Amino acid sequence: MKSKYLYVIYPGACGGNHICNMISLCDGFEQRVSNIKRPNYKEWLLNHYKQYNYFGKPHLYVNAHLSKQPDHVDNLYEFVDKEYALNPDNTLIIQGHLFNFWAASDNGILEELGSEYKAIVMTYPPTNSLPWQRIEAYGYQSPVQDYTFPLDICRGHPIGKPKNMSLEVNENNGLYLDTVKFFTPEGSQYLRELLKQHFQVDLPLEADELHSMWFKWMTHVLKPEIIEYWNNKQQ
């Protein structure tokens, strides 16, 4: 993919970090962690998922985050060296919820990153769907649900200072991912087809293994008896 950045814009609890992890396995993309040598990265990421103790954690803390600090666009320079972020060797995956991108437009980061980007916008899931159930279980309900397509992040910004720049995502530079379709056993294949169709990017087979494990996490933590167990235990 001939682009400095890939923006992944997603509602909370809808699998945004997991999607970023899978895409980081593709040729031409930066790794999600810097302390692992590139030849070992795929194996490291697979082992990270395999060793994840999703049985022993409250549902709220079962996620695909690779660090304790949320690696969102509005605090980009806290986890990626600024000079490197502005001049990456490969496509740098930059993520966040819609309000993180609004904050990044306010603090000047989006303007510094410039116009060489492509983007994935994930839908806000409908009521009673599996990702909606995860939002409910995690308490991630948000008044910000305008994950529409096309999307102009800066011009559609309802708060903060007026914007002089436009940061638009449309069919020419982005894709719209159905969160409900992603929350299925075939979610990695669905992502693979979208990446190939829109960005000419090949998602490797290791992503299927990651997704199989992740989906097992999701189906476990969203069982009503599991949610009830952890809710009672935390009271």
Q: Tens of pLDDT along 61-90? A: 999 999 887 789 999 999 999 999 999 999
Which amino acid makes up residue 26? Answer: C
Cα separation, 204 vs 234, in Å, equals 40
What tokens does 181 get? 């379709």
State the DSSP code for 205. Answer: T
The Cα–Cα gap between 67 and 120 comes to 22
**DSSP 3-state percent helix, strand, coil across the chain (nearest 5):** 45, 10, 45
Kindly list the distances between the CA atom of residue 199 and the CA atoms of 53, 140, 169, 191, in Å, as whole numbers in the listed order. 34, 30, 13, 11
The rounded Cα 76 to chain-centroid distance in angstroms is: 14
End-to-end Cα spacing for the chain? 48
- Whether residue 166 has pLDDT greater than 90: no
Judge whether 74 and 104 are in contact, CB under 8 Å.
yes
Burial class (CB in 10 A: 0-12, 13-18, 19+), 128: exposed
According to DSSP H, which parts of the chain are helical? 16-23, 41-50, 76-79, 82-86, 98-106, 109-113, 130-138, 179-182, 187-199, 206-221, 224-233
Question: In 3-state terms, what secondary structure has residue 152?
Answer: strand
Is the pLDDT assigned to residue 32 strictly greater than 60?
yes
pLDDT at 162 over 60: no
Tokens of 177: 């991912």
pLDDT digits (tens, 9 = 90+) for 173-217: 999 999 999 999 999 999 999 999 999 999 999 999 999 999 999
Average pLDDT over the chain reads 92
- 148: tokens are 């529409």
Beta carbons of 10 and 19 less than 8 angstroms apart: yes
Sheet with strand 117-122: strands edge to edge:
92-96, 5-9, 117-122, 174-177
Confidence tier at 106 by pLDDT (50, 70, 90): confident
Radius of gyration of the chain (CA): 17
